[in-house]
Chain A
Amino acid sequence: GDSVTQMEGPVTLSEEAFLTINCTYTATGYPSLFWYVQYPGEGLQLLLKATKADDKGSNKGFEATYRKETTSFHLEKGSVQVSDSAVYFCALTGGSEKLVFGKGTKLTVNP
């Protein structure tokens, strides 16, 4: 079945550091790919998405590119802020129409 593998956390960075959270997937066909973010005490928010190969999703300084050849959708940000501290989930929807989540990566950004 479809699956998503994220890098294990937690990740701790200093403010203005570069962020990469790795995400790879296994799916039949051509899934849509998403990054969701969950701030403490809140539900999940869609951060960005990509629906076909080579698409780049971007939002709030975060970017991820749909790489079919490496089945990856790594999340990057050039300069993180304290307010980016949250849990980040990579996810996909494929043929089953269900959203399949990775395990989540907790990011802490220190001032």
Chain B
Amino acid sequence: AQKVTQAQTEISVVEKEDVTLDCVYETRDTTYYLFWYKQPPSGELVFLIRRNSFDEQNEISGRYSWNFQKSTSSFNFTITASQVVDSAVYFCALSEGPGNTPLVFGKGTRLSVIA
């Protein structure tokens, strides 16, 4: 069965600090996809990144970076030099196999960046 665990319920940091959000997943499939979404106070989920199980290359996009490690079943998300606008709930999600398979979400991590 699929499962996504985000052990950090809430994190508070001071602006300009770096912060890492943890995500651990469980799956029996060899082909799967991992996602990160951001949910600002408005409520709409914003897609951040997709990673497939065959690509363990880390990715950097501006202040965001992602570390995918199959050996530990983790897909962690780091925000460098955090800003107040980064305050949101962040969700990690998993889907097994290609196609239209629904996502399984973690419970989310609420990040508060304090000025």
Chains A and B are bound partners? no
User: Which A positions have Cβ atoms within 8 angstroms of B?
Assistant: none
